[in-house]
Amino acid sequence: MLNFNFYKVNETLNHKYYQIPQELFINPLYKNALNSDSKLLYGFLLDRLSLSIKNNWHDENGNVYLIFTRKEVQDKLNLSDKTVTKAFKQLSDVNLIYEKKQGFSKPKLIYVAKIQHQNIELSHNRKNYDYINGDSTIIEPENLRAINTNNNYTNKINKAPKNSSFIPYENQRNYPDNFFDDYYANSY
Protein backbone atom coordinates (compact mmCIF):
# COMPACT_ATOMS: atom_id res chain seq x y z
CA MET A 1 0.00 0.00 0.00
CA LEU A 2 3.00 2.28 -0.34
CA ASN A 3 1.67 3.84 -3.55
CA PHE A 4 -1.88 4.30 -2.30
CA ASN A 5 -2.73 7.99 -1.92
CA PHE A 6 -5.02 8.19 1.12
CA TYR A 7 -7.27 11.12 1.96
CA LYS A 8 -6.38 12.59 5.32
CA VAL A 9 -8.81 13.84 7.94
CA ASN A 10 -7.95 17.51 7.43
CA GLU A 11 -8.19 17.44 3.62
CA THR A 12 -11.18 18.68 1.71
CA LEU A 13 -12.41 17.33 -1.58
CA ASN A 14 -11.71 19.88 -4.28
CA HIS A 15 -12.66 17.85 -7.33
CA LYS A 16 -15.18 18.80 -9.95
CA TYR A 17 -18.19 16.49 -9.97
CA TYR A 18 -20.89 15.39 -12.35
CA GLN A 19 -24.29 15.46 -10.75
CA ILE A 20 -26.54 12.48 -11.35
CA PRO A 21 -30.01 12.89 -9.86
CA GLN A 22 -30.76 10.22 -7.29
CA GLU A 23 -34.29 9.97 -8.59
CA LEU A 24 -32.98 8.14 -11.67
CA PHE A 25 -32.17 5.25 -9.32
CA ILE A 26 -35.44 5.18 -7.35
CA ASN A 27 -38.21 6.67 -9.50
CA PRO A 28 -40.17 3.84 -11.18
CA LEU A 29 -40.26 5.88 -14.41
CA TYR A 30 -36.47 5.63 -14.73
CA LYS A 31 -35.10 3.03 -12.32
CA ASN A 32 -35.50 -0.03 -14.55
CA ALA A 33 -35.84 1.76 -17.89
CA LEU A 34 -32.33 3.23 -17.79
CA ASN A 35 -29.09 1.33 -17.43
CA SER A 36 -26.05 2.77 -15.66
CA ASP A 37 -24.61 4.17 -18.89
CA SER A 38 -27.82 6.12 -19.55
CA LYS A 39 -27.90 7.51 -16.02
CA LEU A 40 -24.27 8.57 -16.27
CA LEU A 41 -24.92 10.12 -19.69
CA TYR A 42 -27.80 12.13 -18.23
CA GLY A 43 -25.38 13.55 -15.64
CA PHE A 44 -22.97 14.51 -18.44
CA LEU A 45 -25.82 16.12 -20.38
CA LEU A 46 -26.85 18.16 -17.34
CA ASP A 47 -23.26 19.35 -17.04
CA ARG A 48 -23.22 20.35 -20.70
CA LEU A 49 -26.60 22.04 -20.23
CA SER A 50 -25.09 24.43 -17.70
CA LEU A 51 -22.42 25.30 -20.27
CA SER A 52 -25.11 25.95 -22.89
CA ILE A 53 -26.90 28.28 -20.50
CA LYS A 54 -23.67 30.23 -19.96
CA ASN A 55 -23.15 30.43 -23.74
CA ASN A 56 -26.75 31.51 -24.27
CA TRP A 57 -27.54 28.56 -26.56
CA HIS A 58 -31.30 28.47 -26.88
CA ASP A 59 -33.89 28.32 -29.60
CA GLU A 60 -36.49 30.94 -30.54
CA ASN A 61 -38.76 29.64 -27.72
CA GLY A 62 -36.10 30.04 -25.06
CA ASN A 63 -35.49 26.28 -24.77
CA VAL A 64 -31.85 25.52 -23.97
CA TYR A 65 -30.08 23.00 -26.19
CA LEU A 66 -26.63 21.49 -26.29
CA ILE A 67 -24.38 19.73 -28.74
CA PHE A 68 -22.71 16.54 -27.57
CA THR A 69 -21.83 14.20 -30.41
CA ARG A 70 -21.90 10.44 -30.11
CA LYS A 71 -18.15 10.42 -30.75
CA GLU A 72 -17.53 12.81 -27.84
CA VAL A 73 -19.65 10.63 -25.56
CA GLN A 74 -17.75 7.52 -26.69
CA ASP A 75 -14.45 9.19 -25.84
CA LYS A 76 -15.60 10.66 -22.50
CA LEU A 77 -17.26 7.49 -21.21
CA ASN A 78 -14.99 5.01 -22.99
CA LEU A 79 -17.98 3.25 -24.56
CA SER A 80 -18.65 1.71 -27.95
CA ASP A 81 -20.84 3.38 -30.57
CA LYS A 82 -23.55 0.74 -30.01
CA THR A 83 -23.58 1.33 -26.23
CA VAL A 84 -23.73 5.12 -26.63
CA THR A 85 -26.56 4.82 -29.17
CA LYS A 86 -28.46 2.59 -26.72
CA ALA A 87 -27.94 5.10 -23.87
CA PHE A 88 -29.29 7.97 -25.98
CA LYS A 89 -32.26 5.83 -27.04
CA GLN A 90 -33.09 4.92 -23.45
CA LEU A 91 -33.04 8.59 -22.42
CA SER A 92 -35.22 9.45 -25.39
CA ASP A 93 -37.68 6.62 -24.61
CA VAL A 94 -38.32 8.00 -21.10
CA ASN A 95 -38.57 11.58 -22.41
CA LEU A 96 -35.42 12.87 -20.74
CA ILE A 97 -33.93 14.08 -24.03
CA TYR A 98 -35.19 15.23 -27.39
CA GLU A 99 -32.84 15.35 -30.38
CA LYS A 100 -33.42 17.72 -33.27
CA LYS A 101 -31.69 17.20 -36.60
CA GLN A 102 -30.01 20.28 -38.07
CA GLY A 103 -29.25 18.98 -41.50
CA PHE A 104 -26.73 16.87 -43.32
CA SER A 105 -23.38 16.47 -41.53
CA LYS A 106 -24.39 18.85 -38.71
CA PRO A 107 -24.62 17.51 -35.16
CA LYS A 108 -28.06 17.10 -33.60
CA LEU A 109 -29.29 19.62 -31.07
CA ILE A 110 -30.04 17.88 -27.79
CA TYR A 111 -32.74 19.20 -25.49
CA VAL A 112 -32.57 17.86 -21.94
CA ALA A 113 -35.87 17.43 -20.13
CA LYS A 114 -36.51 17.84 -16.45
CA ILE A 115 -37.15 14.70 -14.43
CA GLN A 116 -40.80 13.87 -13.84
CA HIS A 117 -40.87 13.70 -10.07
CA GLN A 118 -43.05 11.25 -8.26
CA ASN A 119 -44.00 11.31 -4.63
CA ILE A 120 -41.44 8.84 -3.32
CA GLU A 121 -40.99 8.52 0.40
CA LEU A 122 -37.75 6.86 1.37
CA SER A 123 -37.10 5.61 4.81
CA HIS A 124 -33.90 4.02 6.00
CA ASN A 125 -35.38 1.94 8.77
CA ARG A 126 -33.26 -1.14 9.45
CA LYS A 127 -36.09 -3.56 8.78
CA ASN A 128 -37.28 -1.96 5.56
CA TYR A 129 -35.00 -1.83 2.57
CA ASP A 130 -37.74 -2.90 0.17
CA TYR A 131 -37.07 0.12 -2.03
CA ILE A 132 -34.02 -1.75 -3.32
CA ASN A 133 -36.39 -4.34 -4.79
CA GLY A 134 -38.81 -1.73 -6.11
CA ASP A 135 -41.44 -2.41 -3.47
CA SER A 136 -43.24 0.20 -1.44
CA THR A 137 -40.98 2.40 0.65
CA ILE A 138 -43.65 3.58 3.05
CA ILE A 139 -43.20 2.02 6.47
CA GLU A 140 -46.29 0.97 8.35
CA PRO A 141 -46.42 2.19 11.97
CA GLU A 142 -46.37 -1.38 13.31
CA ASN A 143 -42.95 -1.90 11.68
CA LEU A 144 -41.36 1.05 13.43
CA ARG A 145 -39.21 0.32 16.43
CA ALA A 146 -40.22 2.10 19.60
CA ILE A 147 -37.79 4.55 21.12
CA ASN A 148 -36.59 3.72 24.60
CA THR A 149 -36.82 7.15 26.19
CA ASN A 150 -34.77 6.03 29.17
CA ASN A 151 -31.73 6.04 26.88
CA ASN A 152 -32.29 9.48 25.40
CA TYR A 153 -31.09 12.76 26.77
CA THR A 154 -34.17 14.90 26.65
CA ASN A 155 -35.82 17.08 29.23
CA LYS A 156 -38.39 14.33 29.81
CA ILE A 157 -36.07 11.46 30.68
CA ASN A 158 -35.30 9.68 33.87
CA LYS A 159 -38.19 11.12 35.83
CA ALA A 160 -38.08 9.34 39.14
CA PRO A 161 -41.17 8.42 41.09
CA LYS A 162 -41.99 10.51 44.12
CA ASN A 163 -40.14 9.58 47.31
CA SER A 164 -37.16 8.30 45.32
CA SER A 165 -33.49 9.15 45.82
CA PHE A 166 -32.92 9.02 42.05
CA ILE A 167 -31.27 12.15 40.60
CA PRO A 168 -31.88 12.66 36.89
CA TYR A 169 -28.70 12.67 34.81
CA GLU A 170 -29.11 16.25 33.64
CA ASN A 171 -29.28 17.36 37.27
CA GLN A 172 -26.10 15.55 38.30
CA ARG A 173 -23.92 18.17 36.65
CA ASN A 174 -24.26 21.83 35.89
CA TYR A 175 -25.36 22.25 32.29
CA PRO A 176 -26.47 25.47 30.64
CA ASP A 177 -30.18 26.00 30.14
CA ASN A 178 -31.59 24.12 27.13
CA PHE A 179 -28.36 22.08 26.85
CA PHE A 180 -30.25 18.86 26.20
CA ASP A 181 -32.78 20.38 23.81
CA ASP A 182 -30.44 19.87 20.86
CA TYR A 183 -29.92 16.14 21.38
CA TYR A 184 -31.73 13.79 19.04
CA ALA A 185 -33.08 10.39 19.92
CA ASN A 186 -31.18 7.77 17.92
CA SER A 187 -31.34 4.36 19.50
CA TYR A 188 -29.64 1.88 17.21
108-128 as b/e: b if 16+ CB within 10 A: bbbbbeebeeeeeeeeeeeeb
Domain-located, residue 164: yes
| Residue 124's pLDDT band (cuts 50, 70, 90) | very low
- Separation of alpha carbons 145 and 151, rounded Å: 14
**How confident is the model over 165-182, as pLDDT tens digits?**
555 554 555 656 665 555
Range of the domain at 63: 23-112
Q: Residue type at 154?
A: T
Q: Could you write out the three-class secondary structure of the chain?
A: CCCCCCCCCCCCCCCCCCCCCCHHHHCCCCCCCCCHHHHHHHHHHHHHHHHHHHCCCECCCCCECECCCHHHHHHHHCCCHHHHHHHHHHHHHCCCEEEECCCCCCCCEEEECCCCCCCCCCCCCCCCCHHHHCCCCCCCHHHCCCCCHHHCCCCCCCCCCCCCCCCCHHHCCCCCCCHHHHCCCCCC
In the prediction, which pLDDT does 127 show?
45
Domain-located, residue 66: yes
Domain-located, residue 133: no
Domain-located, residue 128: no
In the prediction, which pLDDT does 85 show?
97
Tell me the whole-structure pTM to 2 decimals.
Answer: 0.61
Domain-located, residue 101: yes
Domain-located, residue 50: yes
In the prediction, which pLDDT does 164 show?
54
In the prediction, which pLDDT does 146 show?
52
**How confident is the model over 29-78, as pLDDT tens digits?**
999 999 999 999 999 999 999 899 999 999 999 999 999 999 999 999 99
In the prediction, which pLDDT does 141 show?
52
Domain-located, residue 82: yes
Identify whether residues 27 and 107 lie together within a single domain.
yes
Identify whether residues 159 and 79 lie together within a single domain.
no
- Separation of alpha carbons 75 and 81, rounded Å: 10
Please state the domain count of the chain: 2
